[in-house]
Structure 1
């Protein structure tokens, strides 16, 4: 149902418009399916079943709305013809670009797409934006209303350039939530990571010559390839230097390396290409000890010139520490450890604890790990940090 939801929503918006009401109708259709399918069995055409049920519910909602507005005569145009065949096209990509409408702010574009296409809950999106669920609910509601008021047609825009940056960022955030969940008992949400990769493939088919589209797809493939080795049988987090690299998904690595190798010479160089190149260096190393940390540190240095991202700066600290020693890493960490975007994130304190542990200062490392464990919202991350504490 997670895979079908954006396709069903796209079908309804294409046919009827009314983005916000259509989403409500789709949610009710999904609820009906969750109750009925386990009893009656999966329909022969699950998507068609959902479109039909959602269409009927949408008609009911629109009827009620029109009744309230004293415009009953317009209801007929939204009536569903039960015999009408459901098109087999996938409108997810059109829905993705619609959510990234230029009349919306960048944050609203991302929030709306994560909700309508990525299937994230409002609370998950709120955590990604470091805000409250109530604030995010209002933001998403306003975004739907803005798209509706713009009169945007449900079709792929002829010029993608004005929305592509937001679209890529949205797909990247969906993948991140799937690869390293911000909360809950599981480290991975495979369905989200897989959906992000699917969307990236669709974008690549649409824009095969855009180097950043290629870079994003390569980055996600190279990163997701490590997923089978990131957790133990009991669900405990395993850091990269301790992972069994024989479990990494080699076809995904080969595809990702081929993509980024072809994209880099095309230019212009962008953040997703650089991140993919860093991921490729990690994946190409036969063992953790053979990782080319100086090259990774250099790539992060270039990436920092293109983006003011605190996580990039933090990863640069790690790369410098691994290539030049923990003292060099701690010195560099001191230049960013008061960044307000980092002080609320457990990863700052986890990195500090790791570098202090490497430098032979277990007392200070313990204090850093304790703070990291307090801030971590993912259960596997909390367990890993507490395990580090126990080791000290």
Structure 2
């Protein structure tokens, strides 16, 4: 049986170093799938070796060395002239790894992100590919974020990784003139990672993923100081992160945005976000990240004045939906519209989503629909929608909150 100490050490290394190790392993070979296999075997070896030998002083270097040996073995088994040269390179690098400290392992995550966003990769797969390679998210998690079945997403990701190997796409940060064409996919992936961490309120993993996404956002913003969208995306994450403490009651119960104690919001993070948004707004055309950040800024008005700013929020959602056509934006707009024009108008606005098959397993759709139906007095349909939302909830606190709303509905 694997000791708890060894398991925790392996899990910590996976959370903190997976993307960095994978990017380093794949940089020379440009074989992302092969690097993933080698790293997976290294983690499996750690769970076997560390309980007996003790957790090494440098877990990252240990994992990297074992993974390199697996890569070397793979190239030996599939030897060709070219792979033979790669084999010798890997053997030499394996010896270098033995003396590495964590700080000495070059961080090539940003280069891998831009490689995944290469023009020859299917545009719809660039962000998902970044999420899996850099942050180790599963096809199921990524599929849920992009409203695509897990099996379909998994097949597409396999093909995308093969494409990188076939084309020999370099793992490098592109020249300045080539950056803008790849930036959208990178920003989308970073924010999707943040949203995954933000929505995962259970345990420490979600918080660490959110922090990692913010760190990557700062890295991209520093790389592209003239990019309004990079600033907008970082501002968007900081606005949301400022509310993290207020999302739970002292007993751990879920607290929705409109019921949060704004005194608990982190004003330092909000001020940093406001500064970034002002800089983004003055730097160029308004993009999706800037608009979403502006919506979050409008929510901050309640912290400053004590009153909500729903009319402005609805107008911003109108612009964002015209730009993106996103069903998620339409759903969020409905929640705001209910505050200005009432639940019936909000319910009517999301009527087209009933025909969207992606909504069948999308928990927020059923939660919003259930709330709106309850407020219009349609108790039977509201009960059904809230029950579905509960079944699709992975967070027990949110499930408990929905159950309480359903109980209030049944009590009249």
TM-score higher than 0.5: yes
Which 10-residue stretch deviates more, 326-335 or 264-273? Answer: 326-335
1:166 paired to 2:181: no
C-alpha displacement of 1:283: 2.6
1:301 paired to 2:318: yes
Seen in structure 2, the aligned counterparts of structure 1 residues 364 and 76 have a Cα distance that, compared at 3 Å, is closer
Seen in structure 2, the aligned counterparts of structure 1 residues 277 and 59 have a Cα distance that, compared at 3 Å, is same
C-alpha displacement of 1:31: 3.0
For the residues of structure 2 that align with 1:162 and 1:259, how far apart are their CA atoms?
A: 22
Say which of 105, 113, 116 aligns to 2:133. Answer: 116
Aligned to 2:9: none
Seen in structure 2, the aligned counterparts of structure 1 residues 263 and 382 have a Cα distance that, compared at 3 Å, is same
Gaps of 5+ in 1: none
Seen in structure 2, the aligned counterparts of structure 1 residues 205 and 33 have a Cα distance that, compared at 3 Å, is farther
C-alpha displacement of 1:72: 8.2
For the residues of structure 1 that align with 2:305 and 2:405, how far apart are their CA atoms?
A: 19
Q: CA RMSD in A?
A: 2.7
Seen in structure 2, the aligned counterparts of structure 1 residues 99 and 344 have a Cα distance that, compared at 3 Å, is same
For the residues of structure 1 that align with 2:227 and 2:392, how far apart are their CA atoms?
A: 38
Q: Do the aligned partners of 2:249 and 2:255 also contact (CA within 8 Å) in 1?
A: yes
For the residues of structure 2 that align with 1:5 and 1:287, how far apart are their CA atoms?
A: 40
For the residues of structure 2 that align with 1:133 and 1:330, how far apart are their CA atoms?
A: 29
Seen in structure 2, the aligned counterparts of structure 1 residues 203 and 119 have a Cα distance that, compared at 3 Å, is same
1:371 paired to 2:388: yes
Say which of 222, 225, 230 aligns to 1:213. Answer: 230
For the residues of structure 2 that align with 1:163 and 1:236, how far apart are their CA atoms?
A: 40
Say which of 24, 39, 51 aligns to 2:64. Answer: 51
For the residues of structure 2 that align with 1:167 and 1:78, how far apart are their CA atoms?
A: 29
C-alpha displacement of 1:296: 0.8
Which 10-residue stretch deviates more, 348-357 or 96-105? Answer: 348-357
Matches within 5 A, 1:149-298: 149-158=166-175, 159-181=178-200, 189-232=206-249, 235-286=252-303, 290-298=307-315
Seen in structure 2, the aligned counterparts of structure 1 residues 104 and 353 have a Cα distance that, compared at 3 Å, is same
Aligned to 1:384: 401
Say which of 325, 336, 348 aligns to 1:331. Answer: 348
Which 10-residue stretch deviates more, 272-281 or 315-324? Answer: 315-324
TM-score by length of 2: 0.85
Q: Do the aligned partners of 2:148 and 2:358 also contact (CA within 8 Å) in 1?
A: no
Aligned to 1:78: 90
Aligned to 2:110: 93
| Alignment coverage as a number of residue pairs | 388
For the residues of structure 2 that align with 1:91 and 1:76, how far apart are their CA atoms?
A: 22
Deviations 1:303-350 (A, max 9, x none): 122111011111111212112332332333335443444344232232
Which 10-residue stretch deviates more, 333-342 or 16-25? Answer: 333-342
Q: Do the aligned partners of 2:30 and 2:168 also contact (CA within 8 Å) in 1?
A: no
1:8 paired to 2:21: yes
Q: Do the aligned partners of 2:30 and 2:164 also contact (CA within 8 Å) in 1?
A: no
Q: Do the aligned partners of 2:147 and 2:358 also contact (CA within 8 Å) in 1?
A: no
Aligned to 2:328: 311
C-alpha displacement of 1:229: 1.9
Q: Do the aligned partners of 1:241 and 1:288 also contact (CA within 8 Å) in 2?
A: no
Q: Do the aligned partners of 1:214 and 1:260 also contact (CA within 8 Å) in 2?
A: yes
1:32 paired to 2:40: no
TM-score by length of 1: 0.89
C-alpha displacement of 1:223: 0.8
Q: Do the aligned partners of 1:29 and 1:53 also contact (CA within 8 Å) in 2?
A: yes
